[in-house]
Chains A and B, each alone.
Chain A
Amino acid sequence: MRAANALVKALEEEGVEVIFGIPGGAILEVYDALYDSSIAHITMRHEQAAVHAADGYARATGKVGVAMTTSGPGATNTVTGIATAYMDSSSIVVLTGQVPRPMIGNDAFQEADITGVTMPITKHNYLVTDPKKLLRIVKEAFYIASTGRPGPVLVDLPKDVTVADIEYNYPKKVELLGYKPNYDGHPKQIEKAAELIMKSERPIILAGGGVKISNASQELLELAETISAFVVTTLLGKGAIPETHPLCLGMIGMHGSKYANYAVQESDLVIAVGCRFSDRTTGKVSAFAPNAKIIHIDIDPAEIGKNVRVDVPIVGDAKRVLTKLKQHIQYKQRKQWEDRVNELRRKYPLKYKNEGFKPQYVVEKICEIFPDAIVTTEVGQNQMWAAQYYKAKYPRQFITSGGLGTMGFGFPAAIGAQIAFPNKTVIDIAGDGSFLMNIQELATCVYYSIPVRVFILNNGFLGMVRQWQQLFYRKRYSATCIGCKDVSFEKIARGFGAVGYTVEKPSEVEDVLKEVKDVDDPVVVDFRVDYQANVYPFVPPGAALNEVIDEEG
């Protein structure tokens, strides 16, 4: 069988339903094989967007997302998408074309050393040098991408490899000497953790993206309810338990609510599950939860002790470890702690001055009118307002580029999520600057009737950067005005064949949101919000979680 056909057959066997990509010379054989396949292909308008779409698909479903591009520029365009997936542990496989083997190393037309380029931003990558190894490599790629701590895997396919004749014998198992993720936490460590938990008076659970990846939400919720612990989350952990649950305090960190951050600082035990203690989450590390012991449950041993001192490390899968942990703990009420946290909640609510046309108000209305939608975000203020005011109700609902903070991620990621869930509403809460970074995908949405809703919080600025300039650079607004108040996103949307709206006043927000609810086409709504709005509360970089800047008045 032609290797290209064998590859496509292998992808079918892996359960791949859709590939996001753009064809080109070096990958033509595979595209030709795809022509007869049951696998759908979405031709994106930029390879970066193709990878983000695969990433969005993966995050929304828990399956492996697949992107495919040609060699050279097609391959190098994937880099930002791959780095984004790597930082957020998203399981994707990227297939790239490569020049024929005899030409590799000669700077042939459209040759790029993509395995070299992506070495530090993939979980693993392969250059297929022997057609006989192709199927084993594909098998390994999917296995590596989706197990342990997930991540992107790239497979580079020289064109002459894809035309080679090979036998189709897709391996059933993988044998990797150097890759054996540890799923079961050490029983002694779990007992130690249980002891700490039962002794604690003021426990907090910190849930990261790993909880969602491991599908451990139910176990986490049970733990919280059993031990009466409040749950805070990282940005990626949003939705790990419903944010409407009385024990959920939402996001902590740089733009977390005061009450959530304060609660962490006052806690005597932090049970961190599937998170990596990034600087955006912890604030000043040495002052993070100063009176607390820390239990850290993570599947990646390298994350434990990397940023924060840990008292009880447990290496394992969140779901399995929490299930085991449950057997060692009993119900405990912690009335004083509950009262204290609820007092913090009352005293320091998340709030903004609702005058003029505030972006926060738009997000609140989106949350009200689309409570169950899958929400992706771009990066910047829009992302933080979305994190603060959109309350996630289920685990894979809120999709955002946390680790890399990639502008332009949200829209293509929404496309991936929409492809995975055609009957759900999928919304990209966008900034004007970020949306422009992958706006070409409107063409994709229109062409394939992908009814993503893009809600732009248009402040005419690279707003988050402007905010830092205002607060830390004496209002010297260097290079952050991008003039999008003079851009008609409504007309642009129409030009692509999508539906466009412009909203100038808060009084119109609700009506327009309700109106676009049942539109079957892709929709862009340009909310022309106040450009001065800032994201508060704000723990400045290097400050402790309780050293918060808040809006005056």
Chain B
Amino acid sequence: MRYTISALVENKPGVLARVASLFRRRGFNIDSLTVGRTEKDEISRMTIVVDGDERVVEQVTKQLNKLIDVIKVSDITDNAVERELCLIKVHAPPEKRSEIVELANIFRARIVDVARDSFIIEVTGDEDKIEAFIDLMRQYGIKELARSGKVAMVRGAKKG
């Protein structure tokens, strides 16, 4: 199963290397990892999606907590708003364009670049939505694809 772990870390050089090194050394599988600043400049949030069973996730959480630069770790798998951003460069010959635009609209995706026979489309959402959209685009021919990895936040008043 895939778990989403949110870690608040000190915004210092080397933190990412420490986290990555820990995952590699302990043989944990990272599905995606994102990092960016939070409301406080000196603190960053990492959102890590790991693949494994409950034991693995427990170890990941505990081992992450042991890193001095890691301030707080939470498993937010079941209780978070999760978003990912995806850029898709899709083959778009004139006769298919309106069809693609329509699909993009349904997904609230945006065309952010138009070239002679291709679009770059930006889509955000949870994983299912993005997967579904990518799937739809395949029929036109995906030339390139870039995904941001997941960012997540605990719902409601609780902090994660």
Contacts and interface: CB of A to CB of B under 8 A. Distances in A.
Interface of A: 115-116, 119-120, 123-124, 127, 129, 144, 176-179, 300-302, 305-306
A120 B9 contact: no
Nearest to A153: B68
A302 B62 contact: yes
B17 interface: yes
Interface in B54-90: 55, 58-59, 62-63, 65-72
Contacts of B55: 305
B21 interface: yes
Contacts of A123: 68
B105 to A, nearest CB: 45
B10 interface: yes
Contacts of B65: 301-302
Interface of B is mostly: helix
A306 B66 CA distance: 14
A179 B66 CA distance: 8
A119 B17 contact: yes
Contacts of A177: 10, 71
A119 B14 CA distance: 10
A301 B64 CA distance: 11
A82 to B, nearest CB: 15
Contacts of A116: 17
B59 A302 contact: yes
B62 A301 contact: yes
7 contacts: A116-B17, A119-B18, A124-B68, A127-B14, A178-B67, A301-B62, A306-B59
Nearest to B60: A302
Interface of B: 9-10, 13-14, 17-18, 21-22, 25, 55, 58-59, 62-63, 65-72
Contacts of A178: 9-10, 67-72
Those 9 A-B pairs whose CB atoms lie nearest each other, nearest first? A302-B62, A178-B71, A124-B68, A177-B71, A120-B25, A179-B68, A178-B70, A119-B21, A301-B62
A144 B68 contact: yes
A302 B68 contact: no
Contacts of B69: 178
B67 to A, nearest CB: 7
Nearest to B73: A178
Nearest to B69: A178
B59 to A, nearest CB: 7
A441 B67 CA distance: 35
Contacts of A129: 13
Given A119-B18, A119-B21, A302-B63, 6 more contacts: A124-B67, A177-B10, A179-B68, A301-B65, A302-B65, A306-B59
A301 B60 CA distance: 12
Contacts of A302: 59, 62-63, 65-66
A335 to B, nearest CB: 40
B106 to A, nearest CB: 44
B14 A115 contact: yes
Nearest to A305: B58
Contacts of A179: 68
Give the most central of B22, B62, B66, B70: most A CB within 10 Å: B66
A512 B10 CA distance: 59
Given A115-B14, A301-B62, A302-B62, A120 B21 contact: yes
Nearest to A178: B71
A115 B15 CA distance: 12
A99 B91 CA distance: 52
A305 B68 CA distance: 21
B23 to A, nearest CB: 11
A116 B13 CA distance: 12
A307 to B, nearest CB: 11
Contacts of A115: 14
A241 B27 CA distance: 37
B27 to A, nearest CB: 12
Contact of A176 (B25, B62, B68): B68
A431 B89 CA distance: 66
A176 to B, nearest CB: 6
A124 B66 CA distance: 10
Nearest to B20: A119
Nearest to A148: B66
Contacts of B63: 302
Contacts of B68: 123-124, 144, 176, 178-179
Give the most central of A127, A178, A305: most B CB within 10 Å: A178
A79 B71 CA distance: 27
A302 B28 CA distance: 15
A305 B61 CA distance: 13
B52 to A, nearest CB: 14
B21 to A, nearest CB: 5
A119 B9 CA distance: 17
B3 to A, nearest CB: 17
A420 B49 CA distance: 48
Nearest to B67: A178
Contacts of A300: 66
Contacts of B59: 302, 306
Nearest to A181: B66
Contacts of A306: 59
Nearest to B42: A177
A87 to B, nearest CB: 13
B5 to A, nearest CB: 15
A130 to B, nearest CB: 11
Contacts of A305: 55, 58
Nearest to B15: A178
Contacts of B21: 119-120
B30 to A, nearest CB: 16
A300 B67 CA distance: 12
A115 B22 CA distance: 14
Contacts of B67: 124, 178
Contacts of B72: 178
A378 B45 CA distance: 45
